[in-house]
């Protein structure tokens, strides 16, 4: 019954106590091995037939079940048995892989070649028509065994449990990755390549100094409340600096981030962040 | 199967659990030979003694007992993860570059240009690294935060100011090697024209 | 900070790592006081001695060292987890065996030996579990992917290296080509070479 056991799923569960896994259950009763003949309770049969991993697996089962010599397969007999199983599978409407039919055709062909009389003169060189099939069966059998051996190896989750220990807090010094400026620029280039049209109209000529100043102005106003417009300008920067700041303020105003307020003509202009004061204050205290 | 010593089983369980184990869970490992709580506690006490002065210890925490690396060796053990700093994602670099060039900018605007969502994770990483900060909010529904780069950003990339970044027009020329755009920062290498 | 004994640090690292640690990674924990490989190996040998007869042991797996629950107590420790370890189908195990023994190998080659198609599901499971990865492509029409096993595969199946795989069954009689075995119907007519 070795072949039958092999035909069932080979994996054996781990754990301290493990029953042999049944091939199938019929009305709750486990079926641990199959009857020798073809009669198998219908429910179990389906499970049994589905357990074959393809035509080679089925053929090996047929050969092993009858203790036949794989090197000298009685091809007519095996072909007939194989066809019985294939017909059964078809009757049960099991999903029959095309490979099963290909194998059926191959068996039929081998059978017919075996029947042909051998020309005496070439007898020595003529390869047995079964040779190729036998090679494939032997090769497949090796890996079928290898799969079982693999399944028997001690395995994480099932047989092997590695230790795990916490590291006390504060000792995980993750060193942040290094970034090269070129990488940054390459990334930006990539964005542009994707958003070519969109950007060409909007970003082209804008000097970065204005962008930087916009951030600076926002930072100065971050405390909330009104600031004198004139305080934003530092005389030391010279004309260019004043222009940059002016452009930054205009841009921020246009984007509705800043609010410019003048009480009357020639009165000092005041600037503040555009947010409801109460909300702004609560936000700032939260941030502080 | 003959049962190994109680202490060995509890040792194995505590070490493999990956979370604190209560006495109840340890008791549940022996359904055939019910134990008293005190037996389990005594075994743990003996184990604690065995590991005194070693690299690990058994600590009692809220949920039960847990194995941890002893504080005295933690600084060395922590280095296991040091060397394996991952690289930043392309998405993060693109986001950072857009903040640098288009600041102050909202997350929505970044997403609009990139054509993909910017994960909260990316923003948090950039804020944590202090390369980026919130400088205000746009008066739009939801008051989205406006992001800008920081001084630390300039320092990390050895930039005097954002003006030292290559102009966008040059950057967008795919035939210009990026390195050639970065000749800034070496003002001394300019040819001087005194004879 | 005075350095604790080498053994304690290595013990802490092996416990905390969550994966097998190579000697190289252990050496990297001591950048200030460079050690020799032999010192690390001796410390591990001493730890092994300490663990003799305890609930844990040090195994050599996937090119490194891993502390794990000793097999004798593993059945009890396994009760900690309710759900049973996943079982894998024969189809998956056969596919994995072919990749392990015949790597690098294409899906078509696997199907040829198994005599049946390999489902996409199986390949995805193997890739998802990171037991298998694509290491290249065969220069054939369609450039089929070549699969090989990974370090995680070794780790999962407790193998030191691929050399530790169970030996593949030999073909019936490796000294004689199959063809000679198949000279029809006369297996007994082989010349016997007794003098």
C78-112: pLDDT as tens digits = 988 877 778 899 999 999 999 999 999 999 999 99
* A240 against A285, higher pLDDT: A240
CB contact under 8 A, A222 and B135: yes
Q: How far off is chain A from C47, nearest CA to CA, in Å? A: 14
Q: Hey, which residues 62-101 in chain C have their CB within 8 Å of chain A?
A: 66-69, 71, 74-79, 84-91, 93-94, 96-98, 100-101
The reported pLDDT for the residue numbered C149 is 96
* A179 against B49, higher pLDDT: B49
Residue B121's Cβ-count burial label (10 Å; 0-12, 13-18, 19+) is: exposed
CB contact under 8 A, B136 and A190: no
Residue A271 three-state SS: strand
Find out whether the peptide bond into B104 is cis, omega within 30 degrees of 0.
yes
C122 backbone φψ class: left, alpha, beta (φ>0; ψ -120 to 50): alpha
DSSP H/E element including A263 = none
Tokens, residue C19: 């994966």
Please report all neighbours of B, defined by 3+ CB atom pairs within 8 A. A, C
Which pLDDT band holds residue B114 (cuts at 50, 70, 90)? confident
Q: How far off is chain B from A233, nearest CA to CA, in Å? A: 18
Flag whether residue C114 sits within 8 Å of chain A, measured between CB atoms.
yes
Flag whether residue C36 sits within 8 Å of chain A, measured between CB atoms.
no
Q: Lowest-pLDDT range, A189-193, B82-86, C87-91, C131-135?
A: B82-86
Nearest alpha-carbon partner for B133 in A215, A211, A177, A187:
A215
The reported pLDDT for the residue numbered C118 is 92
* C5-15 average pLDDT score: 95
B11: closest chain C residue by CA = C55
Q: Is residue C188 over pLDDT 70?
A: no
The reported pLDDT for the residue numbered A186 is 83
A51: closest chain C residue by CA = C90
The reported pLDDT for the residue numbered C175 is 45
The reported pLDDT for the residue numbered A196 is 61
* B121-131 average pLDDT score: 90
CB contact under 8 A, A165 and C12: yes
Q: Is residue A28 over pLDDT 80?
A: no
- Please report the sign of the dihedral spanned by the C-alpha atoms of residue B65, residue B68, residue B72, residue B75: negative
CB contact under 8 A, B93 and A179: yes
Residues counted in chain A: 288
Query: Would you give the distance in Å from CA A279 to the centre of its chain?
Result: 46
The reported pLDDT for the residue numbered A178 is 80
Q: Hey, which residues 122-181 in chain C have their CB within 8 Å of chain B?
A: none
CB contact under 8 A, B161 and A212: yes
The reported pLDDT for the residue numbered C128 is 85
The reported pLDDT for the residue numbered A193 is 73
* A53-76 average pLDDT score: 90
Q: Lowest-pLDDT range, A134-138, A261-265, C14-18, C102-106?
A: A261-265
- CB-nearest partner of C90 from A53, A118, A157: A53
A148-193 tens-digit pLDDT: 999 999 998 888 999 988 887 766 666 677 888 888 888 888 777 7
Structure pTM?
0.61
For helices B90-102 and B107-114, the axis angle rounded to 10 degrees is 120
Flag whether residue B113 sits within 8 Å of chain A, measured between CB atoms.
yes
The reported pLDDT for the residue numbered A48 is 75
Q: How far off is chain B from A22, nearest CA to CA, in Å? A: 23
CB contact under 8 A, B67 and C16: no
Q: How far off is chain B from A180, nearest CA to CA, in Å? A: 7
Q: Is residue B187 over pLDDT 60?
A: no
Q: Lowest-pLDDT range, C151-155, C170-174, C180-184?
A: C180-184
Distance separating alpha carbons of residues A23 and A8, to the nearest angstrom: 6
A212-221 tens-digit pLDDT: 888 888 888 8
Tokens, residue B136: 């205000």
Q: Is residue A263 over pLDDT 70?
A: yes
Tokens, residue A202: 């909007």
Flag whether residue B114 sits within 8 Å of chain A, measured between CB atoms.
yes
Q: Ranked by mean pLDDT, which of A191-195, B91-95, B115-119 comes out on top?
A: B91-95
C185: closest chain A residue by CA = A72
The reported pLDDT for the residue numbered A247 is 84
Distance separating alpha carbons of residues A159 and A145, to the nearest angstrom: 20
* A197 against B172, higher pLDDT: B172
Q: Is residue A283 over pLDDT 80?
A: no
Q: Lowest-pLDDT range, A20-24, A217-221, B8-12?
A: A20-24
The reported pLDDT for the residue numbered C58 is 96
Flag whether residue B17 sits within 8 Å of chain C, measured between CB atoms.
yes
Mutate one of B1, B2, B16, B83 to test the C interface: name it (highest C CB count within 10 A). Answer: B16
CB contact under 8 A, C16 and A166: yes
Q: Lowest-pLDDT range, A111-115, A278-282, B137-141, C165-169?
A: A278-282
Residues counted in chain B: 195
Q: Which chain A residues are within 8 Å of C187, Cβ to Cβ?
A: 69, 71-72
Flag whether residue B152 sits within 8 Å of chain A, measured between CB atoms.
no
C21: closest chain B residue by CA = B80
The reported pLDDT for the residue numbered A115 is 83
* A7 against C53, higher pLDDT: C53
- What is the overall mean pLDDT for chain C? 86
Q: Is residue C181 over pLDDT 60?
A: no
The reported pLDDT for the residue numbered A219 is 85
Nearest alpha-carbon partner for C44 in C55, C29, C25, C58:
C58
CB contact under 8 A, A163 and C97: no
- CB-nearest partner of A154 from C158, C185, C187: C158
CB contact under 8 A, C8 and B79: no
Query: Would you give the distance in Å from CA A214 to the centre of its chain?
Result: 45
Q: How far off is chain C from B65, nearest CA to CA, in Å? A: 14
A95-107 tens-digit pLDDT: 777 889 899 999 9
Please report all neighbours of A, defined by 3+ CB atom pairs within 8 A. B, C
Q: Which chain B residues are within 8 Å of C48, Cβ to Cβ?
A: none
B147-163 tens-digit pLDDT: 999 999 998 888 888 88
Q: Is residue C191 over pLDDT 80?
A: no
* B42-49 average pLDDT score: 94
Distance separating alpha carbons of residues C7 and A262, to the nearest angstrom: 74
Other CB atoms within a 10 A radius of the CB of residue B124 amount to: 10
Q: Which chain B residues are within 8 Å of C69, Cβ to Cβ?
A: 12-13, 15-16
DSSP H/E element including A145 = helix A131-152
Is CATH 3.30.43.10 the classification given to domain A210-287?
A: no
CB pairs under 8 A between B and C: 108
Residue C10 three-state SS: helix
Q: How far off is chain B from C67, nearest CA to CA, in Å? A: 9
Q: Ranked by mean pLDDT, which of A114-118, A239-243, C101-105, C119-123 comes out on top?
A: C101-105
Q: Lowest-pLDDT range, A104-113, A234-243, B96-105?
A: A234-243
- Structural contact between residues B82 and A171, judged by C-beta atoms closer than 8 angstroms: no
Q: Is residue C24 over pLDDT 90?
A: yes
- Structural contact between residues A242 and A233, judged by C-beta atoms closer than 8 angstroms: yes
| Residues forming beta bridges with residue C59, ordered by sequence position | C66
- In eight-state DSSP terms, residue A122 is G
Q: How far off is chain B from C50, nearest CA to CA, in Å? A: 10
| Residues forming beta bridges with residue A31, ordered by sequence position | A24
Extents of the domains making up chain A: 2-31, 55-116+128-152, 210-287
* B137 against C148, higher pLDDT: C148
| Residues forming beta bridges with residue B58, ordered by sequence position | B67
Q: Lowest-pLDDT range, A22-31, A97-106, A255-264?
A: A22-31
CB pairs under 8 A between A and C: 170
Nearest alpha-carbon partner for A147 in A82, A53, A234:
A53
Q: Is residue C163 over pLDDT 50?
A: yes
């Amino acid at each position: 019954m070795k072949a039958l056991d092999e035909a069932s799923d080979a994996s054996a569960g781990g754990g301290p106590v493990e029953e042999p896994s049944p091939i199938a259950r019929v009305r709750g009763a486990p079926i641990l091995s199959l009857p020798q003949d073809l009669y198998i309770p219908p429910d179990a049969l389906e499970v049994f037939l589905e357990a074959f991993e393809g035509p080679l697996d089925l053929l090996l089962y047929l050969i092993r079940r009858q203790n036949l010599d794989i090197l000298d397969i009685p091809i007519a007999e095996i072909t007939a048995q194989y066809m019985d199983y294939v017909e059964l599978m078809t009757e049960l409407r099991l999903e029959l892989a095309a490979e099963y039919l290909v194998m059926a055709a191959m068996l039929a062909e081998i059978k017919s070649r075996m029947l042909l009389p051998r020309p005496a003169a070439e007898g020595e060189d003529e390869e047995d028509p079964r040779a190729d099939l036998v090679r494939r069966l032997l090769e497949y059998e090796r890996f079928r065994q290898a799969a079982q051996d693999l399944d028997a190896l001690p395995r994480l989750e099932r047989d092997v449990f590695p230790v795990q220990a916490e590291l006390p807090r504060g000792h995980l010094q993750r060193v942040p990755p290094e970034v090269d400026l070129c990488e940054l620029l390459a990334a930006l280039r990539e964005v542009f390549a994707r958003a070519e049209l969109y950007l060409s109209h909007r970003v082209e000529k804008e000097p970065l100094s204005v962008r930087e100043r916009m951030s600076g102005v926002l930072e100065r106003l971050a405390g909330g409340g009104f600031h004198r417009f004139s305080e934003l300008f530092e005389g030391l920067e010279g004309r260019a600096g004043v222009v940059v700041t002016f452009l930054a303020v205009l841009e921020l105003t246009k984007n509705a981030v800043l609010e410019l307020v003048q009480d009357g003509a020639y009165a000092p202009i005041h600037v503040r962040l555009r947010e409801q004061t109460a909300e702004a204050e609560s936000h700032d205290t939260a941030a502080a | 199967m003959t049962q190994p010593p109680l202490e060995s089983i509890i040792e194995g369980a505590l070490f493999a659990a990956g979370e604190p184990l209560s006495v109840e869970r340890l008791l549940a490992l022996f359904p055939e030979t019910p134990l008293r709580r005190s037996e389990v506690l005594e075994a743990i006490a003996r184990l604690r003694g065995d590991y005194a002065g070693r690299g690990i210890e058994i600590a009692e925490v809220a949920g039960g007992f847990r194995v941890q690396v002893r504080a005295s060796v933690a600084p060395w053990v922590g280095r296991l993860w040091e060397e394996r700093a991952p690289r930043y994602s392309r998405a993060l670099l693109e986001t950072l570059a857009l903040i640098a060039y288009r600041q102050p900018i909202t997350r929505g605007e970044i997403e609009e240009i990139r054509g993909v969502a910017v994960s909260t994770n990316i923003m948090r990483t950039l804020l944590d690294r202090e390369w980026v900060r919130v400088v205000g909010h746009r008066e739009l529904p939801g008051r989205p935060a406006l992001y800008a780069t920081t001084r630390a950003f300039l320092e990390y990339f050895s930039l005097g100011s954002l003006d030292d970044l290559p102009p966008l027009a040059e950057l967008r020329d795919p035939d210009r090697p990026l390195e050639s755009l970065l000749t800034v920062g070496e003002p001394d290498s300019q040819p001087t024209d005194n004879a």
